[in-house]
Structure 1
Amino acid sequence: MYFVDWTPDWMGAFAECVAQALARLGVTPVAPPTGTGVAAPAASGLLVEVEATAVVG
């Protein structure tokens, strides 16, 4: 994930949102989420971008 203007004080809110999404979807993550701060998003107005790979099988 890429976070615009990331600061460490966002971590609590981010972790809570991830936990809520996982509970709602009823899934367990295979690996912990990783992220990095960026100066600007790919599209104007975004605060978070996600790059994901789905494995089916």
Structure 2
Amino acid sequence: MGTLLAKMPPQTLYVTITREELRRLREERELLQQQVATLSRQLEQAKSDSKNSLA
């Protein structure tokens, strides 16, 4: 039998962030999204190249 755990109600965490921090986080998110898109294209290209070399 497993251990019984009392169900705790969800807690809300409030955070204060400055406009400058928010701007910086948005810029970082945009950069990361661009990197993911670039890596995804490279991966698809590598898959395509691999298929073509096997054919």
Normalised by the length of structure 1, the TM-score is 0.33
More strand by share: 1
Normalised by the length of structure 2, the TM-score is 0.34
More helix by share: 2
Q: Which structure has the higher relative contact order (CA within 8 Å, separation 6+)? A: 1
Computing the radius of gyration from Cα coordinates, the structure with the larger value is 2
